[in-house]
Amino acid sequence: MLNIIKKNEIWVLKLALVFEEVSKSFDDKVVLRDMSFEVRRGEIVSLLGPNGSGKTTALRIAVGLLKPSRGNVYIMGFSVFGDPVNSKKYLGYVPETPILYDNLTGFEYLELVLDLWRLNISDKYNEIIKLTRILDLEQSLEELTVNYSAGMKRKLMIIGALLHDPIVLIMDEITSNLDPKAIVTIKQLLEGLKDLNRAILISTHILEIAEELADRTLILRSGEIVWQGETRKFREEAIGEKKLEDIFFELTGGPEIASILDYLKRKNDDLNS
């Protein structure tokens, strides 16, 4: 595969992230099944699916935190597992749960990130101030992150993931712990990065978020891609038939709310009889 990539530079430039027949099992449990897709530069792709459908597992494989049982992932043509150093140069990752150091201030954390990338704080200072300002974090930069709210921690992780100007940005559960204002800001930020020709892969369990943000969407159910295509086509296919949510739930197997309500009603009837 690498040979093909070297021969064809345009291919490399367009397909920033490639999943090639990726499967993952934990012991006997199959969590991802034969997943293939690409993210091109200048597009936002979403993994959409209910809890437990395999979104986080797929993203952890993409960033090299988990090894696939089969298949491979390429970032800018470099195998994540064969050439971790080169592939990760191009990668920014925001996990769902922030990983920070309690005894560092927000600013010290960002300085540490810059150090790891061997970047100079003076070159990045203005960018940090701009990003912290739009995310309402500027006033808290001198506070220890242990005292940050979950949302503030997440915002700091987002800023940290952007400082080395990654070409591929991966964000798990993008709205997690963020208030409505921050969600709007993040959406605008991602749109801006898309215009700068970055490749963005997000995960969400919220249909509306995928619809608003993603050019293309992959719907996951129990580790399998059950639908993939242009996000707007999902709506086009649904219109005139059923409600979009119903189609999403049919594809993903949820929600089981109707049967739960039924159960509660029966229980209530029993108690009253």
Ligand X SMILES: Nc1ncnc2c1ncn2[C@@H]1O[C@H](COP(=O)(O)OP(=O)(O)O)[C@@H](O)[C@H]1O
Binding residues for ligand X (CB under 6 A): 26, 29, 31, 49, 51-57
Binding at 118: pick from Mg ion, ligand X, none (beta carbon under 5-8 Å per type): none
Strand order in the sheet with 168-171: 91-94, 168-171, 199-204, 43-48, 216-221, 224-230
CB 100 within 8 A of CB 108: no
CB of 21 vs ligand X, minimal distance in Å: 18
| Shorter beta-carbon distance to ligand X: residue 113 or 174 | 174
> What does R_g of the chain's alpha carbons equal in angstroms?
20
Q: Which of residues 26-55 bind Mg ion (CB under 5 A)?
A: 55
| Shorter beta-carbon distance to Mg ion: residue 163 or 220 | 220
* Sign of the torsion angle spanned by Cα atoms 113, 117, 121, 125: negative
CB of 51 vs Mg ion, minimal distance in Å: 7
Distance CA 100, CA 161 (A): 12
In this structure, are strands 216-221 and 224-230 parallel, antiparallel, or unpaired? antiparallel
CB 194 within 8 A of CB 16: no
CB of 142 vs Mg ion, minimal distance in Å: 32
CA atoms within 13 A on the CB side of 190: 29
Q: Which of residues 52-71 bind Mg ion (CB under 5 A)?
A: 55-56
CB of 139 vs Mg ion, minimal distance in Å: 31
CB of 100 vs ligand X, minimal distance in Å: 21
| Shorter beta-carbon distance to ligand X: residue 49 or 160 | 49
| Shorter beta-carbon distance to ligand X: residue 67 or 243 | 67
| Shorter beta-carbon distance to Mg ion: residue 25 or 86 | 25
With CB under 5 A, what is the number of residues at the site for Mg ion? 2
Closest CA to 171 of 82, 30, 59: 59
Binding at 52: pick from ligand X, Mg ion, none (beta carbon under 5-8 Å per type): ligand X
CB of 251 vs ligand X, minimal distance in Å: 14
CB 131 within 8 A of CB 162: yes
| Shorter beta-carbon distance to ligand X: residue 51 or 259 | 51
Binding at 98: pick from Mg ion, ligand X, none (beta carbon under 5-8 Å per type): none
Q: How buried is residue 6: exposed, middle or buried, by Cβ count under 10 Å (0-12/13-18/19+)?
A: exposed
Closest residue to Mg ion: CB criterion: 56
Distance CA 262, CA 240 (A): 29
Which residues would be at the binding site for Mg ion (CB under 5 A)?
55-56
